[in-house]
Amino acid sequence: MKDQAEKLRNIMKNKPNKNNIKLSQDRAQVLAITSGKGGVGKTSFSVNLAISLKRLGYKVLILDADIGLANIEILTGINMKYTIEDLIKSDKNIYDIIEEGPEGIKLISGGSGIHQLSMMDDKNINKLLEEMENLEREMDYIIIDTGAGISNIVLDFVMISDETILITTSDPTSLMDAYTMIKALTTNGYKGKINIVINIVENRREAENIFNKLSKVSQNFLNVNLNYLGYLQRDVLVNKAVKIQQPFLILNPSSNISKKINVMALKLINPVKYNEKKENLGFVQRLKALLFGRDR
């Protein structure tokens, strides 16, 4: 696929304890939260997962890579003053464009600057990489909230992540789009783990049936194994949280949906059933590959 995603890819891990001390390797774990279509709760999941990881003692940053939409701002009630575009085009540094979100999670808005990555000159590329490298050394988790769909820019960011969390629902179009995303990742040689979260379901049985169907077709036709991260039931708390711009994990931490988010966070930091050796390239190294692989 000769697009900017392939270009960003073709150039050029680490658990802290609850006191935020790095125990190994000097780079953040990068999680891409994505979906085949919009309206499946991707951004809400990203924000609440980040808060859950923060409560476990990890330093967490969300990069809002959904171009043109301000969903992170809407869900958190935080006004993002600057974006990556200000980092690229002005004298702002990475810390100038970071906003502090709920319970101390960090937020960066990609804005239109995300779309300009493939058009940057060498000076701007080097500045971006240097700033992101500083950030990568400080954070434990960088969560990329991608746009919905399967555009080139969405694939760019998913392809350079350590793990993907693919959000889907029971809706047939959502499932088809989720499969299409899995196929696109597989076709392009994605090496990370693909985690599946089934959202807006009635109960555990429904969620497991949906996952089993998606897993079976992925194994049979793509020869790829999916990891079942968990499910979230339909809950009026989610709509209430959106209306008052407060993450549901804060609004009602003892709710069933909040507990399920916490369980998924624990699975991510302790993947006892996933022992494959991870590629030891950091986010910035893979970002270099994507940026410098451009045609000159």
The residues pairing with 89 across neighbouring beta strands, listed in sequence order, are none
Q: What ranges in 83-232 are assigned the alpha helix state H? A: 84-89, 122-138, 152-159, 172-187, 204-222
- Please give the full DSSP string across 26-78, using - where no structure is assigned: SS-EEEEEEESSSSSSHHHHHHHHHHHHHHTT--EEEEEE-TT--HHHHHHT-
| DSSP track, 216-237 | HHHHHHH----EEEEEEE--HH
User: Residues forming the annotated binding site?
Assistant: 37-44
Give the N- to C-terminal CA distance of the chain in Å, as an integer.
17
H helix and E strand count, the chain: 12, 8
State which amino acid sits at residue 184.
A
Report whether 188 contacts 6 (CB < 8 A): yes
Annotated binding site for ATP: 37-44
φ, ψ dihedrals at 208, nearest 5°? -65, -35
The answer to whether the CB of 14 falls within 8 A of the CB of 283 is: no
Q: Is-contact 286 6, C-beta < 8 A?
A: no
Alpha-carbon distance 251 to 257, whole Å?
11
Q: Count of alpha carbons within 13 Å of 280, Cβ hemisphere only?
A: 5
CA 25 to chain centre: 20
